[in-house]
Amino acid sequence: MATIYIVEDDVNIREIERYALKNGGFDVVEFERGSDLSAAVEKKIPSLILLDIMLPDEDGLEILTDLRKKKETKNIPVIMVTAKSTELDKVKGLDMGADDYLTKPFGVMELISRVKALLRRTERVAEADVIRCGCISLDNKKHVVKVNENVCELTFKEFELLRYMMLNEGIVLSRDKIMDQVWGFEYEGESRTVDMHIKTLRHKLGEAGALIKTVRNVGYMID
């Protein structure tokens, strides 16, 4: 059974999250402060973390950054939970390493759906340690991408985007599908976000960037 860590200082919201997740078949451990979470992950790595941004002792984004820096915790799926709802807030959190984003107030069904979807994506990725496409190799465990054996420095979301495309080599992926699988949420202007990340990714991959094809009026594929 998957174990979910909840980090939320609002008692009412924490109760809603606990109730929903337990009824969804998950084990739940609750924390009011970021410092309590830090101590807990040293003892046991959870299946997923629901992390509030506004905490009394530490900013949720700082906690997320610390999680992504450490070898033991960098691959833990994280859903950010916050009252902030602007596109900029969402993009900032996702680019810093969040896997998905929930805006308060949210429905119980949406919470369960997003948790289950993220866990499914994580399980699929874990099946392959190293993915290869042409001269590109992507190491899931080490979180390293190489082009012709030379390390290519990518941001967290660029890595996630490339990984998703490589797992679906030869398949045309729509912008909506990419957004749903890599960012995990929908918002206005999403196609611009995908296009911008594809452009940057191609540039960083150098000549190997040509493997990412644009399919007019549909989306992208790697082949």
What is the three-class DSSP state of 75? coil
Same domain, 110 and 163: no
DSSP 182: I
Which residue from 35, 33, 39, 42 is spatially nearest to 14, judged by alpha carbons? 33
Answer whether residue 145 shows pLDDT above 60: yes
Arithmetic mean of pLDDT, 181-203? 77
Please say which residue of 99, 125, 151 terminates a domain: 125
Residue 214 dihedral angles phi and psi, to the nearest 5°: -95, 125
Answer whether residue 209 shows pLDDT above 90: yes
Answer whether residue 157 shows pLDDT above 70: yes
Same domain, 38 and 78: yes
Are the C-beta atoms of 119 and 48 separated by less than 8 Å? yes
Query: pLDDT band at 216, cuts 50/70/90?
Result: confident
Residue 150's domain is classified under what CATH number?
Answer: 1.10.10.10
Lowest mean pLDDT across 13-27, 128-142, 192-206: 128-142
| Sheet with strand 219-222: strands edge to edge | 173-174, 219-222, 212-215
Same domain, 16 and 95: yes
- Listed in sequence order, the residues at least 6 apart from 111 whose beta carbon sits closer than 8 Å to its beta carbon are 17, 20, 21, 102
What's the domain range around 86? 3-125
Answer whether residue 187 shows pLDDT above 50: no
Q: How many domains does the chain have?
A: 2
What is the three-class DSSP state of 201? helix
Answer whether residue 97 shows pLDDT above 70: yes
Same domain, 67 and 177: no
Amino acid at 214: T
| Sheet with strand 100-103: strands edge to edge | 27-31, 3-7, 48-52, 78-82, 100-103
Q: What is the pLDDT of residue 88?
A: 67
